[in-house]
Structure 1
Amino acid sequence: MIFGTYAQDEEYLWKKFRAPQFDPCTGIDQDTAAKEIMRFAELDAPAPIVKARAFEFLAENLQIEVDPHDFFPAFACWKRRPCPMSPLLAELRKRIPLQQGELWGLLNQSGASNIWIDFDHSVPEWDEVFRLGFPGLLRNAMEWREKHRAAGTLDVAKEAYFEGIRITYGAMLRMLKRFIERAQGHDNARCHFVAASLQRLHDGPPQNFFDALQAIYLYFMFSEHIDHLQVRSLGNLDWLLTPFYDRDLKDDTFTDAQMREMFDHFFMQWGSIDNYWGQPVYLGGTRADGSTQVNHLTHFILEEAAKLHLPTPKIQIKIAANTPDEFIDKVTALIRDQNQSIVLVGEEGIRHIMTSHGYTEEDARTCLIRGCYEFGSRGRVHANTTGVGHLNMLKPFELIFNNGIDKQTRKPVGVPVPPLNALNSFDEFYRLYIQELDWIIEANIKVVNDFEAHLASINPANVFSPTIPNSLRTGRDAFDDGCDYNNSSLLTTGFGSAIDALSVIEELVYKKGEISLEKMAAALNANWEGYEELHRKILTFRKRYGNGIPEVDRFAQMLSRTLGNRINGRPNSRGGVWESSVHCAKQFIHQGAKTGATPDGRFAGEEMSKNASPAMGADVNGVTALLRSALAIDAASFPGDFPLDVMMHPSSVKGADGLAAWRQLLRVYFAGNGVAIHFNIFDAAKLKEAQKNPEKYSGLQIRVCGWNVRFTEMAKSEQDMYIRRAESIIE
């Protein structure tokens, strides 16, 4: 049978990327492959060709399977990281002459920032993939090679760039032939059905709904699991698939039920991969005529996601004034009732940010959503942004109160710190705080500009580049000034916690004189031990970010403008500019672990606030007050992204009236240029019960930052923080 077997297939699908089995006669396993390709490190050739030859070896020699229980072929490189290409790329990286390695080490070890080379946020031009298919992308690249040759612009670097693409895409097509032969060798109707689709994709672009799903999956595997370049969105999935769905339904190629079954298998690929960060797709948008892009395929995808109830793929949904009320209610009901992995992104806020930084309204309308909730132009102009550095907003406090010495490394970090008794006013304290922040920003940019000048040699984007028209026009790698916009984003950790710390210092030290800076330093360096009364006073301090208090929210405005002015628009080393982001990924935990006690009442090592959100438990005046605080910030200060995390009690969104109130809240937030917002709907009692009896709550999902995880799989310390947050929310 080709269809009607999902229940029987599910066991295989769960194991596919966790404990797969391959026939050894089909090739070598991924561990052997990782060792074998190290021979290519000895090739006397430019990096794009070295990597392409390694890709070719993997495509021709890795074990493969086309299983009767699946619609999508299996690659032996099933582990995401490390993948077989990892050791070779590590060797190539060692050859890059970096100048700022010592400074890089100091920033990462101290936790002042956390920097890594980022190939984790690229998105192909899916329209090009669908328009040309794999053979068409290769043919188009070779035509551009000849155009450069004819124009006299085909220098040695461009020749290597195009040759890397030729070898890579030729290998992809030969791997498709291997899959076809393997599928045809099985006496099974579904395997033959898959073989026919693979043959069409070997010969040209996708022809039907199933081919389209197969093309997305194959591109993902070729790029992420073989070429070591993440695919941070499967695209505007409802809009991409609608023409295929409608035509297949009209022509009786497939029924709706058959396409749903194929789609369930498709989504389960990423359910099985179970990438901790989640695999993004985005839905919705606005048409050129101003009407909503939400359609029957949008509902189709949400319905199948609800049925599968997976933490990943994670779904990003564009919301605009034209988005139907009933659709918003459907989405929020899924979040409320299933804790679905959904983030809502506001088109008005995206337009405000992008047009504030030189993009057109059309760029904003058609923008892609990638990663957790980052956005960027696509189509006529393509933006490729790296996330390189996480600015620790609390580290300056540690340095100020510890004479400029970082507690992790015991080394000086930042600017010289004067005696605390010389800081006679809050203005002087704040000025020193900003100087310390500036030092970290400058150091971060110096480190990143050093290595980003070499991205095309560190990890040539041989699969990704030919999907980007400007990359082919210029003959440059898509990570080396090959996209229309090649930006670098500096992310921010502890934004809300820093606001609280400044508020405490201003009020208790300088306005009321209830504590001296010297006593604060002693308490912080003792991690509050022996200063419990002071600690209790600070923990009950209510002038905190997230409560709609203008006196406090002015710090949010000051800091966001400062970050934007210091970072946005500065040249990077790959033909683009720097941009500021208030997103922090999981660094609110990792950098918190490297940061001492801080004036907001944190203990040393404790997590800090994340994204544009308050510290856990700091917002006690309700969600409306929280939104007032967030909207006090001009989101244009953060062109990288501007996400807000909200937890609400189930009683506040109960029934149809609760959904209507929630919808109105969203309308207000997005009309005020809010950008990304996601929700946890919990009460503390349920989380405590899940912590106590995890076997009863194995499916319980919780929103961490830009992704969902199963609550029972979190560390107890993380669970405790969510319980603490839930205990503070207003019913």
Structure 2
Amino acid sequence: MNPTIGEYPNPSSRIVALKQKFLDYESFMCCQRARIYTEVYRETEHQPMIIRRALALCETLRQIDLFIEDGELIVGHPASRPRSAEVFPEVSFHWMKEIDEFETREYNRLKVTSEVKAMLAEIHPYWEGKNPTDKFRARRPEETKRAFAAGLLSNPHEWSTFAHVGLDYRKILTKGINGLLEDIKKQKASMRITDPDYHGRSVFYDACEIICEGVVDYAHRYGELVDSFIARTRDPVRASELQGMREVLSRVPLYPARTFHEALQSFWFVQLITQIEGNGFSISPGRFDHYMNPYLEKDLEEGRLSVERAIELLDCTWLKFAEIMRVDDKKAAEVNAGYASGQNLVIGGIDSKGKDSTTLLSYLCLIANYHVRLHQPNFTVRLHRGTPEEFLEQVVLSISSGNGMPQVLNDEIIVPSLTGRGLPLAEAREYIPVGCDEITVPRMWGRCNGGYLNFAKVLEMTLNEGVDMKYGIAFGEPPSLRMIGSWDEFHQAVLEKIDYAVERQVSEANLTDRIHEEILPLPFLSMFLDDCIETGKDVTAGGGHYNTTGLVGVGSANIGDSLFAIKRLVFDEGRLTLAELRSVLLADFEGNEPLRQYILNKIPKFGNDEDEVDQYVVGVTNRFFDAVDRYRNNRGGPFYPALYSVTAQVGLGGATAASADGRKSGLPLADGLTPMYGQDVHGPTAALKSVVKVDLVRSPNGVIVNQRLTSGILGTPKGREKMELLLRSFVDIGGFHWQFNIVDNKELLEAQVHPEQYKGLVVRVAGYSAIFIELSKKAQDSVIARNAASL
């Protein structure tokens, strides 16, 4: 029998205390990393950029202040103080003009001490003109600049390093740093000075060696810190724990892991240091229950570990994920509200041979999620037709914890979506989600988020003849409305503007690749991806085994619902002309509330299994898929389309005027491929049937579908049994992704009024979870506005 949530329903007192301490901490902006990076960059102007970045990371690992929380069993923190964020000046520093607003802004608030402000003011001038934002402003085409200003496009890598990747954690577990260094030295020895790529490979290997030295020093520093705790502790139980931690740190990450504790600690060092090297989102653990399970089972078989202790060690690791935070400007914070970090850990699913791969650790991960109930890791379960009943029961129990996790993915759809792109079947079966649910293959590079495209803005610019309704920005050349005489002509004009927007999106993504290759290589991350050490190339230079780029469409339901409403109102019923509709939208429905209510309540909407409207979402997404499939990125790989949004639907909605689906100006768009808030009125099955009409196999980079369920619905055996049947139906009818919020409006509204009483309330936002009170009011309201369905 596998361990169950029923057997282990409650976390240990250690976990309860560590979680409460985390929730009680105020979050600060820290600048130790920024100071060290500035010093190193100033001293190495003559060096190759990859060497400069390696030296800066190495010095940070040697100098940054370390600490260990009382009761911790896994060590390592991303900042110099608890639950805080370091500054990455080489990536993003234009937000200095907002420095006095960080403590009071709506989302991702950070306290900033006078000392930190003074240090940042001192180093800021050095970085002017040196980070990606400055490079984009200098090199982005004028037409694309206007598209960004109007809210047609958004690029998350203007302010972050590349990520959205699953690393090969087996390398650190089975080889350790010493083994990696041996691999690097073998490659160096195999080169000849006359090789065309000799100089490029040499500096890559030198950078890797420099960082490895820093990683070893970092672990040694933690070992010395544990020694200091041992010397002064008077609690014999804690002293014994510290001795065990010291033994672990004397072994990893320098050598291969032997025990479950060593494996967890070694894993965490890699997970952490990749996020000290860069501030990119979604460094994802991937199939954690596969590569970590052998260490767990060996310890249990040999009597070194009890199930209870294994769960506590796992719970300690689970808590660590929530510590990853970033300093974002207001625009980026709106997209990533709630300190999103996208560290997607997945369990279950089939293996490379097509067999169910559920392990003992799969069950323990479900227990850890039930115990910890925080917003990270972004926890996912892969389902398939052969998912064991016992496992599915525990998945539903874990979902009932109320933190919006785990989300579920469907192997029966996702594997064919990857083989259809040419991936070998065995590799496709090993797929992992990164970030929200962007699909990639572990260990093999794919930049999953190349930027967002606002579908609602495409329709807006068509209706307003190429002039943005919100800001009056002109771009593109749609035909005059006077020249459109039929529905088919109007519909075709909208579809052509999707092609135009994708062209701009592709250009931006390729410019992003070029800028990051030039100034933001990631040698430590590259060490844990296939082919980079073999080829001696950084991932930003195309060293990964695969080199895909994801392009993301936002607001599918809005454009589909709007198109159907326009057809009905203008071309079928003749209630008003296109020009009159444009005037209504420009005025934000002022004086036309009866028309708006007619649109909202009488015209069918996507999410209710009605073909007459669903066909327009299908048509728009197909046109988007077709457009994306035409292009290659500048690393030689394909573009993969996606339909998700993180919280970009809030920011992009804020930049979008009123739309013909009845949405008011500035309100959020629909998230992912989810029906618009409040419009899926016939329950979850009907909503899912609408979603699967979209050709989801053509969206290999990910699809997000949110479903809110009434509170308490999984509190009874009958309710959980219905949920299990619903998940089986999700697999059978061809769903791609599904996630659930199980919380009532009364609790959410109370949390808005008394946030101090709801520090631990976690909700599902849009492909990730967040602590509810740390979201902006607009994002909170969008969660509240979703219909709560019963089963």
Q: TM-score, normalised by structure 2?
A: 0.85
Q: Note if contact 1:596-1:604 (Cα within 8 Å) is conserved in structure 2.
A: yes
User: In the alignment, what sits opposite 1:356?
Assistant: 420
Is 1:520 the counterpart of 2:576? The answer is no
User: In the alignment, what sits opposite 2:36?
Assistant: 33
Question: Which sits farther off after the overlay, 297-306 or 254-263?
Answer: 254-263
How far apart are the structure 2 equivalents of 1:699 and 1:661?
28
Is 1:706 the counterpart of 2:767? The answer is yes
How far apart are the structure 2 equivalents of 1:209 and 1:280?
20
From 421, 432, 438, the counterpart of 1:368: 432
Shift in CA distance, 7/327, structure 1 to aligned 2, threshold 3 Å? closer
From 310, 321, 342, the counterpart of 1:259: 310
Could you list the runs of 5+ residues in structure 2 that have no partner in the other structure? 1-10, 94-125, 232-238, 326-338
From 6, 10, 18, the counterpart of 2:18: 10
Post-superposition offset of 1:96: 8.6
User: In the alignment, what sits opposite 1:414?
Assistant: 476
Is 1:185 the counterpart of 2:228? The answer is yes
From 386, 390, 394, the counterpart of 2:456: 394
User: In the alignment, what sits opposite 2:399?
Assistant: 335
Post-superposition offset of 1:137: 1.6
Superposed CA offset, 1:394-435 (max 9, x none): 1122223323112454321122431x2321111111111112
Is 1:659 the counterpart of 2:659? The answer is no
Q: Note if contact 1:58-1:226 (Cα within 8 Å) is conserved in structure 2.
A: no
Post-superposition offset of 1:264: 2.0
User: In the alignment, what sits opposite 1:293?
Assistant: 357
Is 1:133 the counterpart of 2:195? The answer is no
Question: Which sits farther off after the overlay, 10-19 or 299-308?
Answer: 10-19
User: In the alignment, what sits opposite 1:441?
Assistant: 502
Q: Note if contact 1:16-1:272 (Cα within 8 Å) is conserved in structure 2.
A: no
For residues 486-635 of structure 1, the aligned pairs below 5 Å read 486-568=547-629, 570-635=631-696
Q: Which amino acid aligns with 2:150?
A: S
From 493, 498, 514, the counterpart of 1:432: 493
Question: Which sits farther off after the overlay, 68-77 or 242-251?
Answer: 68-77
User: In the alignment, what sits opposite 1:378?
Assistant: 442
How far apart are the structure 2 equivalents of 1:35 and 1:45?
14
From 410, 431, 440, the counterpart of 1:346: 410
User: In the alignment, what sits opposite 1:25?
Assistant: none
How far apart are the structure 1 equivalents of 2:543 and 2:644?
25
RMSD: 2.8
Q: Note if contact 1:491-1:580 (Cα within 8 Å) is conserved in structure 2.
A: yes
From 516, 524, 534, the counterpart of 1:455: 516
Q: Which amino acid aligns with 2:375?
A: P
Q: Note if contact 1:119-1:230 (Cα within 8 Å) is conserved in structure 2.
A: yes
Superposed CA offset, 1:240-265 (max 9, x none): 22111111122222222222222222
Question: Which sits farther off after the overlay, 28-37 or 161-170?
Answer: 28-37
Question: Which sits farther off after the overlay, 530-539 or 273-282?
Answer: 273-282
Question: Which sits farther off after the overlay, 514-523 or 228-237?
Answer: 228-237
Describe the SS at the equivalent of 1:205: coil
Q: Note if contact 2:153-2:452 (Cα within 8 Å) is conserved in structure 1.
A: yes
Shift in CA distance, 715/116, structure 1 to aligned 2, threshold 3 Å? closer
Question: Which sits farther off after the overlay, 157-166 or 486-495?
Answer: 157-166
How far apart are the structure 2 equivalents of 1:105 and 1:181?
51
Question: Which sits farther off after the overlay, 629-638 or 403-412?
Answer: 403-412
How far apart are the structure 2 equivalents of 1:730 and 1:318?
24
For residues 226-265 of structure 1, the aligned pairs below 5 Å read 226-230=277-281, 232-265=283-316
Is 1:156 the counterpart of 2:199? The answer is yes
How far apart are the structure 1 equivalents of 2:427 and 2:465?
48
How far apart are the structure 2 equivalents of 1:127 and 1:273?
22
Superposed CA offset, 1:662-720 (max 9, x none): 22222222223321110123444444444455455443322101111233433333333
User: In the alignment, what sits opposite 1:60?
Assistant: 62
Percentage of identical aligned residues: 22
Q: Which amino acid aligns with 1:358?
A: G
Superposed CA offset, 1:503-559 (max 9, x none): 001111111212211210110111111122222221223321111011112112211
Question: Which sits farther off after the overlay, 109-118 or 520-529?
Answer: 109-118
How far apart are the structure 1 equivalents of 2:721 and 2:13?
39
Q: Which amino acid aligns with 2:349?
A: G
Shift in CA distance, 239/280, structure 1 to aligned 2, threshold 3 Å? same
Shift in CA distance, 84/202, structure 1 to aligned 2, threshold 3 Å? farther
Superposed CA offset, 1:561-597 (max 9, x none): 1111110252101121111111111111000000111
Is 1:82 the counterpart of 2:87? The answer is yes
Superposed CA offset, 1:457-481 (max 9, x none): 2211111112223112222112221
Describe the SS at the equivalent of 1:489: strand
Q: Note if contact 1:285-1:294 (Cα within 8 Å) is conserved in structure 2.
A: yes
Q: Note if contact 1:489-1:581 (Cα within 8 Å) is conserved in structure 2.
A: yes
Is 1:70 the counterpart of 2:109? The answer is no
How far apart are the structure 2 equivalents of 1:520 and 1:97?
36
Question: Which sits farther off after the overlay, 696-705 or 525-534?
Answer: 696-705
How far apart are the structure 1 equivalents of 2:396 and 2:16?
31
What is the aligned length? Answer: 719
Q: Which amino acid aligns with 2:172?
A: V
Is 1:483 the counterpart of 2:512? The answer is no
Superposed CA offset, 1:432-472 (max 9, x none): 11122221111121122123134322211111112223112
How far apart are the structure 1 equivalents of 2:14 and 2:89?
31
Q: Which amino acid aligns with 1:452?
A: D
From 637, 641, 644, the counterpart of 2:698: 637
Q: Note if contact 2:163-2:283 (Cα within 8 Å) is conserved in structure 1.
A: yes
How far apart are the structure 2 equivalents of 1:15 and 1:715?
18
Question: Which sits farther off after the overlay, 466-475 or 87-96?
Answer: 87-96
How far apart are the structure 1 equivalents of 2:135 and 2:605?
49
Shift in CA distance, 134/269, structure 1 to aligned 2, threshold 3 Å? same
How far apart are the structure 2 equivalents of 1:104 and 1:115?
11
How far apart are the structure 2 equivalents of 1:15 and 1:676?
30
Superposed CA offset, 1:587-619 (max 9, x none): 110000001111111111011111111111111
Shift in CA distance, 278/203, structure 1 to aligned 2, threshold 3 Å? closer
How far apart are the structure 2 equivalents of 1:231 and 1:687?
27
How far apart are the structure 2 equivalents of 1:632 and 1:654?
32
Shift in CA distance, 669/219, structure 1 to aligned 2, threshold 3 Å? same
How far apart are the structure 1 equivalents of 2:659 and 2:354?
48
Q: Note if contact 2:631-2:638 (Cα within 8 Å) is conserved in structure 1.
A: yes
Q: Note if contact 1:17-1:272 (Cα within 8 Å) is conserved in structure 2.
A: no
Describe the SS at the equivalent of 2:631: coil
Describe the SS at the equivalent of 2:602: coil
Shift in CA distance, 446/686, structure 1 to aligned 2, threshold 3 Å? same
Question: Which sits farther off after the overlay, 326-335 or 477-486?
Answer: 326-335
How far apart are the structure 2 equivalents of 1:8 and 1:404?
56
How far apart are the structure 2 equivalents of 1:236 and 1:279?
12
Shift in CA distance, 633/470, structure 1 to aligned 2, threshold 3 Å? same
Question: Which sits farther off after the overlay, 94-103 or 706-715?
Answer: 94-103
Q: Note if contact 1:18-1:272 (Cα within 8 Å) is conserved in structure 2.
A: no
Q: Which amino acid aligns with 1:10?
A: L
Q: Which amino acid aligns with 2:734?
A: N
Post-superposition offset of 1:300: 1.4
Post-superposition offset of 1:12: 9.0
Q: Note if contact 1:557-1:634 (Cα within 8 Å) is conserved in structure 2.
A: yes
Q: Note if contact 1:496-1:609 (Cα within 8 Å) is conserved in structure 2.
A: yes
Describe the SS at the equivalent of 1:145: helix
How far apart are the structure 1 equivalents of 2:12 and 2:479?
70
User: In the alignment, what sits opposite 2:466?
Assistant: 404
User: In the alignment, what sits opposite 2:245?
Assistant: 194
Shift in CA distance, 482/331, structure 1 to aligned 2, threshold 3 Å? same
From 193, 201, 210, the counterpart of 1:167: 210
Post-superposition offset of 1:33: 2.9
Q: TM-score, normalised by structure 1?
A: 0.92
How far apart are the structure 2 equivalents of 1:662 and 1:697?
27
